[in-house]
């Protein structure tokens, strides 16, 4: 049986808790505070223990670079075994949306090969276990409104991440 571990780090955009199992990143909990991140860890992986490992060091390093505006893509092995085939297709399509760009749920559904499945894409985004790395903050409503965001402090964090990527500030 693989050891499940977690660790967390706070950034100006929120607190990130990482959960790993078997050397792969199995979940990112991106919340507004350390207490909320710990609660998310307890919900998603109650049997994980806090620990340090090279995977966490690497992901935290990449996140620091991203939040500084120095990293455009992530190089992290994700454990997506729990995702449906549809969710994997949506995640893969979204990872190809360029840094600094936004895409509508409808257009992301088309890119994932499921035109007409915008609502289903919205459900996949709302349960994304890898926020930031699978950049669900780049997905907006068809009319350009931000829509919801489950990471950090919600919509305000989504707006800040889009602004960061578009070079409009930290």
Closest CA relative to residue 144, chosen from 105, 99, 92, 91: 105
Q: Which two tokens stand for residue 3?
A: 């050891």
Does the active-site annotation cover 136? yes
* Catalytic residue (one of 21, 29, 45, 136): 136
CB of 6 closer than 8 Å to CB of 27:
no
Of residues 83, 78, 75, 62, the one with CA closest to residue 130: 78
Note every long-range contact of 114-117, with CB atoms under 8 Å and residues 24 or more positions apart, other chains counting: 114/86, 114/89, 117/86
**C-alpha angle 135/23/40, rounded to 5°?**
55
Q: Which of the residues are catalytic?
A: 136
């Amino acid at each position: 049986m693989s050891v499940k571990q977690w660790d967390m780090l706070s950034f100006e955009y929120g607190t990130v808790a990482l959960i790993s199992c078997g050397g792969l990143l199995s979940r990112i909990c991106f919340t507004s505070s350390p207490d909320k991140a710990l609660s998310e860890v307890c919900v998603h992986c109650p049997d994980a223990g806090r620990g340090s490992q090279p995977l966490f060091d690497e992901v935290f390093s990449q996140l620091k670079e991203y939040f500084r505006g120095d990293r455009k893509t992530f190089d992290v092995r994700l454990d997506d075994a729990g995702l449906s085939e549809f969710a994997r297709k949506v995640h893969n399509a979204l990872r190809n949306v360029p840094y600094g760009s936004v895409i509508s749920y409808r257009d992301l559904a088309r890119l994932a090969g499921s035109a007409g499945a915008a609502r289903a894409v919205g459900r996949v985004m709302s349960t994304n276990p890898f926020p930031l790395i699978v950049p669900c903050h780049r997905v907006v409503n068809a009319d350009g409104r931000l829509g919801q965001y489950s990471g950090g402090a919600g919509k305000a964090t989504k707006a800040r991440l889009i602004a960061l990527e578009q070079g409009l500030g930290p």
